[in-house]
Amino acid sequence: MKRWVGPLRAAAAASGPCSESGGFRTRFDFGSRDAASWFPGHMAKGLRQMRASLRRADCLVEVHDLHIPLSGRNPVLQEVLGIRPHLLVLNKMDLADPRQQSVILEQLRQQGCSHVVFTDCQRDSNVKKIVPLVAKLVSSSPRYHRAESTEYSIMVIGVPNVGKSSLINSLRRLHLKKGKATAVGGEPGITRAVLTRIQVCETPLVYLVDTPGVLPPKLADVETGMKLALCGAIHDHLVGEDIMADYLLYILNQQQQFGYMERYGLPEASDNIRHVLKYVAVTLGKTQKVKVLTGTGNVNMMMLNYSAAAYEFLRAFRAGRLGRLTLD
């Protein structure tokens, strides 16, 4: 799919001053943007299949991105959480601010979410806690028509690109010493349909069902949509990499995370996205050939590619190269 980046001049104009002219923005101007609705056909189909499969599930494991522990959890999924025992797995703990964990736990408890595990599924950190906790939750809850079954059937749910498939693969590595059972990708929409059951543990016998990421049919507000997009839950081109990069810069400055200065060679922190992306483009060699019409004919010139720089700025954040951030 072709990546689209809108004009950066408008974003730069809205960016506010550089730090040398008196501080950073205290609010982000989203302009007249509406909260995008992104609910493709495979999401609607996946949600229907999930609801139909609920009857066979002993427990729901909801996976969410620790960058946004409070934002973007799908209210459509929340509707079904009261039906079965529920465990919230906040993944990508290696990329989020560890100082925020106690505050996050308290806020989630106030929302009625009392069973939470922080994980890094790429390195299997804390993943071993999940099966014993699931077993405890299931054994202390009524299983109705599944009361005679000795195996546990767990449904894994969440918005796109939060690490559901990575969690399943991590559990298989830890408990079965086996490799990937489900595809993993950094783009939303890798898992397109509710899959068959995947064994992740022998004792107790545990099967997980991976499900497609499902976004809310209508996002609560523009900022929630922007946070989801920064975390890769919405395709970049639907929001615009220019505005996403600008919002990311706003958050970095608000949280005094100035690692981008050293990474891209800026002499000081800046609140002007075009200024920052110029340094990104120069540092990474992001240029493009542009044909210029002159009085003597066409001339090819090399210019900085701000679109490619914005894309690389977002990639650096997602890989944790700009510091450990919690967006909420």
Query: How many CA atoms are closer than 13 Å to the CA of 120, on its beta-carbon side?
Result: 10
Residue of 231, 212, 233 whose CA lies nearest to 66 = 231
Residue of 316, 182, 298 whose CA lies nearest to 244 = 316
Instruction: Give the C-alpha separation, 213 to 66, whole Å.
Output: 16
Q: Detail the residues annotated as belonging to a binding site.
A: 91-94, 161-166, 213
For the chain, the maximum distance between any two Cα atoms, rounded to a whole number of angstroms, is: 85
Say if CB 65 and CB 120 are below 8 A apart: no
- State which H helix or E strand residue 172 sits in: helix 164-176
Direct distance between the N- and C-terminal alpha carbons of the chain, in angstroms, rounded to an integer:
30
Q: Detail the residues annotated as belonging to a binding site for GTP.
A: 91-94, 161-166, 213
The single-letter code of the amino acid at 165 is S
In sequence order, what are the residues at sequence separation of 6 or more whose Cβ sits closer than 8 angstroms to the Cβ of residue 191? 164, 165, 182, 183, 210, 211, 212, 213
Other residues' Cβ atoms within 10 Å of the Cβ of residue 314: 19
Dihedral pair phi/psi, residue 306, rounded to 5°:
-70, -30
User: 144: alpha, beta or left, given left = phi > 0 and alpha = psi -120 to 50?
Assistant: left
Query: Given the structure tokens 């494991």, which residue do they identify?
Result: 61
